[in-house]
Structure 1
């Protein structure tokens, strides 16, 4: 019998990849989104016979309870989320809105597990739960051993994990926690509420480093502006790989009440990223010159995950190379620039 999955935040960046992966694997999918970040967006699967989109707010406990009543799984992905500038512009709203979302989601899931057939909730957390670590790689469990995150966004994502465990402790609601690292892909546009931040002569697109560097290079910025010294380390992970990991974690019996970092194992500095984008867009004969702008307060210097647990338990590895990601993202950003959406 076909299983049904509710995905909150289904019109979002990672959510879009997750819905595609669920449909590819044969699930019936219900998506819920209030379009607060980008406005209404068109997805390739909007007319898929096994997909239904509900325009609604994940803070609405009644709506979420109704939608979960006949679902087998719930991927709780809805959140107010953005790039590094979001952490400052919306410091309170990130905390308050996301707390309301997770509380309503858990209330609804507890009822659906008790009264319906909901078997588990798969919660989307974040690499930012490791924001305050001084020891790498960040392994599953380290988030409870190091100081809590300083940003309200990171702190709230840690709270999501506490909600997951508390709902199990008190109500027996099974969970899996997944932590995506530095998602890269297509489909993200400038958020409606983004603060306009200049980086040199170019307004940042999403304050996410890959699309921002790509658009600055394509718009002819030279020298190229980067935040900080360029030695920040990230693990750029393809959205399709993350979706594969999330759905595998959702469905895998060994993921019951477990948490997983989902990430490529490959470290890349911001400077290395800039060099790769520059050479792909400009060719090897145009020298790269960098200007180092003052970084944001919560610009974590290293995000280096341990990936062994996901490989061992889920047989999951993020295999898409940065080169392959950029071969997809650069033309997409070029089209978005022409269309005026970035």
Structure 2
């Protein structure tokens, strides 16, 4: 029985990775914080371990009693009030974890790091838009993207790592795209900017598929983009949500980019004053402003055998069904 450690196990993507590891008969260890919810980690076969990513020494002590065949590092933050927290968690936490893994895990076969397409930022923005390539130079335009890029750069060449860079991930349990569904149920939808925006998505279960393909036969040191292989326009996601909600009456407002800049500027200020992270912040502004989210997933198809099972219509249908069943909508 292979032994796998999954960090960020209580999170949206991490909890699905845990479920798949259990389904595959692996001895599954979920790394969680003491304060983390275990709502989606109820299977009695799950083993739990608490890890302190702030210190290499503490991590070595916590990991020293175990030998893992596989490690999936899905822990990280996507929203923070303070810029420094992105780097403390995403970059420094990854560096500390990797150093502790190298010192303690002598049976390690694969280390999969979940990064993001966001590390490349707004490149290839001239129309007609072209796919972002793995060989392009990253130019992150968000603090999150910067911190994930620096996290990637902490991975040493003598670690058997594979990097996965998914585009926007959605699915059951996800809370950011859920806000769009909640808004549409409340009869309003918002679009930003008048210039064409090419958007890509990947369903959470397809990300999980790629994780285990990478564990099985990913090429050490390689990085792979993940999407469903399709390109959508900015309103497609909300149109599909509207359809799955039974087409309630709605008003769609298209706001200019400059107005979004003002809203997110004050969103950041209010967030710092209240201590609560606003959904409309500077990173969100950069994400919505970016027009080209195309990416080349051919290397993942050819080298991993990655075959997306969910296009946006199928994924949204399953996601909205889950939101309804759980009483979110």
User: Which TM-score tier does this pair reach, normalised by the shorter chain?
Assistant: 0.7 to 0.9
Partner residue of 1:306?
A: 296
Tell me whether 1:262 sits opposite 2:226 in the alignment.
yes
Partner residue of 1:320?
A: 310
TM-score, normalised with respect to structure 2: 0.81
**Per-residue displacement from partner, 1:84-127 (whole Å, max 9, x unpaired)?**
xx5xx4433112222221111111121124xx212232111101
The offset of 1:244, in angstroms, is 0.8
Tell me whether 1:74 sits opposite 2:71 in the alignment.
yes
Partner residue of 1:139?
A: 133
Give the Cα–Cα distance (whole angstroms) in 2 for the partners of residues 78 and 27 of structure 1.
20
The offset of 1:288, in angstroms, is 5.4
Partner residue of 2:275?
A: none
3-state DSSP class of the match of 1:323? helix
Give the Cα–Cα distance (whole angstroms) in 2 for the partners of residues 111 and 177 of structure 1.
21
3-state DSSP class of the match of 1:282? coil
Q: Which runs of 4+ in 1 moved over 6 A?
A: none
Gapped regions of structure 2 (runs ≥ 5):
261-283
The offset of 1:34, in angstroms, is 1.7
CA RMSD in angstroms, aligned pairs only: 2.4
Give the Cα–Cα distance (whole angstroms) in 2 for the partners of residues 119 and 64 of structure 1.
19
Partner residue of 2:145?
A: 154
Aligned 8 A contact 2:123 2:292 in 1: no
Partner residue of 1:27?
A: 26
| Corresponding residue to 1:47 among 43, 68, 74 | 43
| Corresponding residue to 1:109 among 101, 120, 135 | 101
Aligned 8 A contact 1:32 1:58 in 2: no
| Corresponding residue to 1:213 among 180, 189, 193 | 180
The offset of 1:5, in angstroms, is 1.0
3-state DSSP class of the match of 1:317? coil
3-state DSSP class of the match of 1:163? coil
Q: How many residues align?
A: 295
The offset of 1:287, in angstroms, is 6.4
TM-score, normalised with respect to structure 1: 0.78
The offset of 1:313, in angstroms, is 0.7
For residues 186 and 52 of structure 1, do their structure 2 counterparts lie closer, same or farther at Cα, with a shift above 3 Å needed?
same
The offset of 1:35, in angstroms, is 6.4
Aligned 8 A contact 1:80 1:94 in 2: yes
